[in-house]
Amino acid sequence: MQRLFLFLATAGVVFLFGASAALARADSTGWPKTGEAKGYKYTIYEPQIDSWDNYSTIKGHYAIALTAPSQKDPWYGVVAVTAKSVVDFDKRAVQISGVSVESINFPMLGADQAKKLDAYVRANVNIADTVLPMDTILLNMQHAKIKSRETKVGTEPPVIYFSKTPAMLVVYDGDPIFSGIKEMGSVDLQFAVNTNWNVFKSGATFYLLTGNGWLQSSAATGPFQAAGPLPSALSALPATDNWKDVRSALTIGPVDKSKMPTIWVSTKPAEAIVVGGEPKLVALQGTQLSYVDNTDSTLLFYKPDKRWYYLSSGRWFSATSLNGPWAFANNNLPKDFTKIPASSQVGWALPSVPGTPQAEEAILEAGVPHEAWINRQQATLTVSYSGDPQFQPIQGTNLQYATNTDVDVIKVNDQEYYACKDAVWFKATSPAGPWTVADKIPDEIYQIPSTSAAYADTFVTVEESTTTDVLYGYGSGWGLGYYWGPGWYYGPGWYYPPYWGYYGGYPWYYPYPRTFVGGAWYNPATGGWGNAWGVRGPYGGATVGGGVTGGG
């Protein structure tokens, strides 16, 4: 095996795994494969991937060992192939088919002998279709040319609050918006539609439900104090799932003044760091970094520069004080960040450390599209607007997008409209429809910048189409995972103001996805992002997605 590994290096072929690594996986992947034909014995080792164009065409190499009938030691060669690929995300597998041999090289042999072996391999060795683990391919690609789509993300820090005592963060998506509740008619009670907590208004008083009881204030943004008697209107809330949690909390009463938490209220994107007393630092072996053990946040301290580093949505922010000011730090993290032990308490943060293998793998996986065939007749779309359709220009393009609907509708011209819903494109000649499945999308749509709320739609593409079906693919950006430079981020980082307006006597509120929604973290097992809400409310970050129309 050592001879094979040295040969491959001498031949100038880049293989991420040596042959011994490929053999070690033989039990689980079926490699290497052996055979015999016309007296020759051959061994084909696991293919190594050189490129994955559009994640549909794979180019790679197989190492092959060929032993003649009267020969003890084998000759080693490299078979270059091109093949088609289809990704099965559920099984994390890639089906390789239509394998075409491009070239065969036996560099240690003379031209005549190499030519004979080339002919033998083409005639007798079956480079068959196969299935490869997707993770194996992604690992291969760390040293190959792969086209991952880069996004210029926003790096401005959110408002970052810090406390050593219990605290909670109330975030409004812009100025507070309150709505009446349809089923309650003229009853004097309104609720906040654009926040992550249950906030109500009755008369001139605002009521906030926390996990420990009720608070009240004379303003939607506080300051809050322990509540007095609750308004009777709260008892009239509809007995529906929307208000189930609130109704069950009506008997809790006010917050105990001795347990009164700090209340932060923000109308801008915000995050919260809450530490249980003084930060307890735990050293990370092999580094001069320590992590704070008594917080749910990802918070590190670097001894040489005496700075704190806080991770949120794939972005590191640093400060000399936990009270700020905070600055974006991904581009100048200390080198010790790359030495964080993967098995440590903060090892899961390595995908957010530029230059680590974990970050490279996350970026590579970001480019692999999910695909689904959609039947033209079965897929339908209905778009509802709050009033007449309203459109705003998309900066840097001649396009416009609709602001008063929960569907992404893009106007190309007065006779051409496209809508993206659930990673499927539809088209129509009017913003009201009728909508049909689209099999060709204007190039200009893919020029929409990341500063636009419609940017995620640019990750949905048409791969193939027939008279009955359309194959769509969507990349990580559809799920708000983006790569920029050597970094891997959640959310584009730009603030998209929500749409709201009154229609039918009630406010219609359409939020857009938010970057800072409560400590988004990357899960390498799924290739996606999750959230740990902590002190940010029972509904996470304000307006993570979806729309509210009229309340109730």
pLDDT on residue 176: 93
Mean of pLDDT values over 86-115 = 84
- pLDDT band at 140, cuts 50/70/90? low
Q: How many beta carbons lie within 10 A of that of residue 407, not counting itself?
A: 18
Whether the predicted pLDDT of 136 surpasses 50: yes
Mean of pLDDT values over 229-246 = 89
Mean of pLDDT values over 188-205 = 91
pLDDT on residue 506: 65
Query: 160 is written with which tokens?
Result: 């970052």
Mean of pLDDT values over 80-103 = 89
pLDDT on residue 535: 53
pLDDT on residue 24: 28
pLDDT on residue 105: 83
Quick one: which of 265, 178, 248, 176 has its CA closest to 214?
A: 248
DSSP per residue over 500-536, as a string? EEEETTEEEEE----S-SS-EEEETTTTEEEE--GGG
Mean of pLDDT values over 365-375 = 79
Whether the predicted pLDDT of 512 surpasses 90: no
pLDDT on residue 210: 87
Question: Can you tell me the distance from the alpha carbon of 103 to that of 80, in angstroms, rounded to the nearest whole number?
Answer: 5
Question: Can you tell me the distance from the alpha carbon of 84 to that of 223, in angstroms, rounded to the nearest whole number?
Answer: 61
Tokens 């929500």, residue? 498
Query: What DSSP element (H or E) covers 137?
Result: helix 134-140
- pLDDT band at 368, cuts 50/70/90? low
Map 279-323 to HEC letters: CCEEECCCCCEEEECCECCEEEEECCCCEEEEEECCEEEEECCCC
User: For residue 104, what are the CA distances in angstroms to 6, 49, 78, 119, 226?
Assistant: 18, 16, 6, 9, 78
pLDDT on residue 497: 85
What percent of the chain has a predicted confidence (pLDDT) above 90?
A: 45
The least confident of 275-284, 337-346, 502-511 is 502-511
Structure letter (DSSP) for residue 260: P
Mean of pLDDT values over 160-186 = 88
The least confident of 79-93, 146-160, 432-446 is 146-160
- pLDDT band at 344, cuts 50/70/90? very high
Query: 105 is written with which tokens?
Result: 């090289």
Query: 548 is written with which tokens?
Result: 């509210």
Tokens 């972005």, residue? 315
Strand 262-266, strand 167-171: pairing? parallel
Q: How many beta carbons lie within 10 A of that of residue 73, not counting itself?
A: 9
Please state, rounded to an integer, the average pLDDT across all residues of the chain: 82
Strand spans (E) along 121-224: 130-133, 159-163, 167-171, 178-180, 190-192, 198-202, 205-210, 213-217
Query: 118 is written with which tokens?
Result: 């080339």
Q: Is the pTM of this model over 0.75?
A: no
Q: Output 72 or 551, whichever has higher pLDDT.
A: 72
Whether the predicted pLDDT of 316 surpasses 70: yes
Whether the predicted pLDDT of 416 surpasses 80: yes
The least confident of 27-36, 217-226, 288-297, 529-538 is 529-538
The least confident of 142-151, 154-163, 426-435, 484-493 is 142-151
Mean of pLDDT values over 461-490 = 86
What percent of the chain has a predicted confidence (pLDDT) above 70?
A: 84
